[in-house]
A and B are shown apart, each in its own frame.
Chain A
Amino acid sequence: MIATTREDWEDLLALSQSESAARPLLERLLEHWCRLHRAEAAALYLERGALLERECTHGPREFPDFYDPAAPAAEFARGLALFRLPGGALVFAPGEIPLADAATLLLSEASKASRLSRQLKEQRFQANYRGVELEALYDVGLKVASTLDLEELSEEILLHAVMLLDARRGALYLFGPGGYKVQRTFGGEAAESFAAGDSALARFLAGEPGAPDSLLPGARHLLGVPIEIEGSPRGLIAVGDKESRRGVGPFRASDRRSLGLFANQAAIALENARLHLQALEKERLEREMSLAAEIQRQILPKGAPEIPGYELAGWNRPALQVGGDYYGFLELPGDRLGLSVGDVSGKGMPAALLVSTLHSALRLLLERNGVGPDFLERLNGHLADSSTANKFVTLFFAELDPGSGELGYLNAGHNPGLILRRDGTLEELGSGGVPLGLIRAAQFREQKTAIHPGDLLCLYSDGITEACSPDDEEFGLERLGNVLTDCRDQPLPDLIQAIERATTAFAEGYPQGDDQTVVLLRRAG
């Protein structure tokens, strides 16, 4: 009998009314069924998809977890009688047992109720899980606004994708100049990178069967979707091996749609983080440039030394925040004056660093050894050793004896200096060597001239003579000479302003392409 006492009946009634006690009820009914039919052991299986899953057993015998009606294993049913119950349940028990009695009917009805209850529970589970999926999409959407850390965001995206698709493996790639580069992996290794034009990857992302072998090595089933912004690639998400209670299997078509939807959200979040990183990098560079500009301002002279009988002035206008031009005034032994104008190849931070090297080397060499015959050779050697192969410096260095007006000068690949003589003649102080830092064994020849009363010396960088008009015409040496001639009697700061105004007017708003530097020396006359 199912129940022999009032307590038994109450117990059974309670079991039948309890949602969570379907299995104990079935166990109880199966036990009763066995007792009634004198079966020492039995197992009850309920439908679960295409298979039947063991729900409960009675007796000492072991039964497998699943039974496949399409391919029943011989040893499974050996010595067992199979009873099909209405509602998709199977009972296996040894021996021949008559059917259609009250106990079998009761077991059948309970099995049906249990199966329906399980289906209901599974449907509720699936409906709830749709809620989890929507929540995950919402969460990633929120990250768009709240997370700008690319590392954190990448982990969030990959973990959500793996979780949502019940995947065992996953990888997130970001697209850059070299193609797709792995950013995050989960559950195992993934290929480091893929070229932008990898045809196998492109076919896989388009949904065609077959994934590149190296994508998630060892994964048997793969699914991948591109991460795109307005059709241009930003990355990809790949997941591997969809889990079920029986192991891993292929992904469904609906999984591709879910992952695609997820990738759309991820694309916006990743793009936001990428733009934020770019902005931070720009800000960092600007800070660096600003610091370098400040260092360079410290290198350039604050004013000009007082030389009796002479006027002296210098001016510099960089094309970028940090320029590659340099000028300096150096007081040398014997009341002599050193004048230098240099131009480092390139602009920006690398040029500024070389300017700093030039400034330090120039000062150290002159303080230690004076000008001397091999001064420029030693400076050249130092710069050749301390600069990269494609970096060089042009330099015009002059040494003035203020008493006699004698001017010795060395020109390492720089623009010729100009002397506007008192009688209006314009003389060029030509080049005497290659730029510094290019050839270690280069030699330089000092030349001499004199600054007479009323003469004006002008040293400058190519940013003046090569200032461009919108028609691509250069300002040139002749126009510079004309300004010097026209304004020769003006105070030097005014003369420098005249040069600045002339080049600016000539450019007619065309951007300044190179740094501009002018040093002027006039002997009272």
Chain B
Amino acid sequence: MTESLRVTVDRQEGVAVIHTEGYINNQGGEEIARVAYQLIDEQSKVLLLNLAGTKIVNSIGISILIEIIEKMIEIDGRLGFCNLTQTIAKTFEIMGLAQYAKIYPDEAQALADLRSAT
């Protein structure tokens, strides 16, 4: 089980995909935020967070993800999540993240939808 978060970025056509592997906690969330804000600075306005390698997100991690969502709203960008475990999907639903960021079952569907809107 990987606990410290690893983040990789895959720049697809029109969409920057952030892959995570590990625990999205304070440190993990900050790392995602650092990468996301850097992408925003580089003019990326459509981000996809692929959480296939993440089994667990705590409340600090969620609050940081909410900040990223707020930032995306500020810049009039789009943010999506895909490949969530059942527990994480339910957590996002309860915490209201699903109202502001779309949740997709997999990366292919996410890319197709996010690209169509750009």
**A interface residues, Cβ below 8 angstroms from B:** 20-21, 24, 124-125, 128-129, 131-132, 135-136, 139, 155, 159-160, 162-163, 166-168, 186-188, 243-245, 247
Is there an interface contact between A21 and B74, defined as CB atoms closer than 8 Å? yes
The interface residues of chain A lying within 8 Å CB-to-CB of B60 are 166, 243-245
The interface residues of chain A lying within 8 Å CB-to-CB of B25 are 166, 168, 243
Is there an interface contact between A135 and B26, defined as CB atoms closer than 8 Å? no
The interface residues of chain B lying within 8 Å CB-to-CB of A139 are 87, 90
Bound complex: CA A245 to CA B66 (Å): 14
Is there an interface contact between A186 and B1, defined as CB atoms closer than 8 Å? yes
User: Known contacts A124-B96, A139-B90, A160-B87; can you find 14 more A-B pairs with CB under 8 A?
Assistant: A21-B74, A125-B59, A125-B62, A125-B66, A125-B95, A155-B1, A159-B55, A162-B56, A163-B57, A166-B25, A166-B59, A187-B23, A243-B60, A247-B26
Nearest 6 A-B pairs (CB), nearest first?
A187-B3, A131-B94, A166-B58, A243-B26, A128-B95, A159-B56
Is there an interface contact between B55 and A132, defined as CB atoms closer than 8 Å? no
Q: Does B70 contact A (CB under 8 A)?
A: yes
Bound complex: CA A521 to CA B73 (Å): 99
In the complex with contacts A125-B63, A159-B56, A166-B60, A132-B95 CB distance below 8 A:
yes
The interface residues of chain B lying within 8 Å CB-to-CB of A135 are 90-91, 94
In the complex with contacts A125-B63, A132-B91, A132-B95, A162-B58 CB distance below 8 A:
yes
Is there an interface contact between A245 and B26, defined as CB atoms closer than 8 Å? yes
The interface residues of chain A lying within 8 Å CB-to-CB of B94 are 128, 131-132, 135
Q: Which chain B residue shows the least CB distance to A129? A: B59
The interface residues of chain B lying within 8 Å CB-to-CB of A244 are 26, 60
* 11 chain-A/chain-B pairs, Cβ below 8 angstroms: A20-B70, A125-B59, A125-B95, A132-B90, A132-B94, A136-B87, A139-B87, A163-B87, A167-B58, A187-B23, A243-B58
Q: Which parts of B17-32 form the interface with A (CB within 8 Å)?
A: 23, 25-26
Interface residues on B, range: 20 to 34
Q: Which chain A residue shows the least CB distance to B94? A: A131
Q: Which parts of B79-93 form the interface with A (CB within 8 Å)?
A: 87, 90-91
Q: Which chain B residue shows the least CB distance to A188? A: B3
Q: Which chain A residue shows the least CB distance to B58? A: A166
Q: Which chain A residue shows the least CB distance to B55? A: A159
Is there an interface contact between A163 and B56, defined as CB atoms closer than 8 Å? yes
The interface residues of chain B lying within 8 Å CB-to-CB of A125 are 59, 62-63, 66, 95
The interface residues of chain B lying within 8 Å CB-to-CB of A186 are 1, 3
Bound complex: CA A180 to CA B74 (Å): 52
Q: Which chain A residue shows the least CB distance to B30? A: A245
The interface residues of chain A lying within 8 Å CB-to-CB of B57 are 163
In the complex with contacts A20-B70, A188-B3, A243-B25, A163-B58 CB distance below 8 A:
yes
**Min CB gap A413→B, angstroms:** 58
Bound complex: CA A332 to CA B48 (Å): 84
The interface residues of chain B lying within 8 Å CB-to-CB of A167 are 58
The interface residues of chain A lying within 8 Å CB-to-CB of B90 are 132, 135, 139
Q: Which chain A residue shows the least CB distance to B72? A: A20
The interface residues of chain A lying within 8 Å CB-to-CB of B73 are 20
**Min CB gap A14→B, angstroms:** 12
Bound complex: CA A168 to CA B28 (Å): 11
Is there an interface contact between B23 and A24, defined as CB atoms closer than 8 Å? no
Q: Which chain B residue shows the least CB distance to A168? A: B25
The interface residues of chain B lying within 8 Å CB-to-CB of A166 are 25, 58-60
The interface residues of chain A lying within 8 Å CB-to-CB of B96 are 124, 128
Bound complex: CA A468 to CA B25 (Å): 69
Q: Which chain A residue shows the least CB distance to B64? A: A245
The interface residues of chain A lying within 8 Å CB-to-CB of B58 are 162-163, 166-167, 243
Bound complex: CA A186 to CA B63 (Å): 22
Bound complex: CA A314 to CA B70 (Å): 88
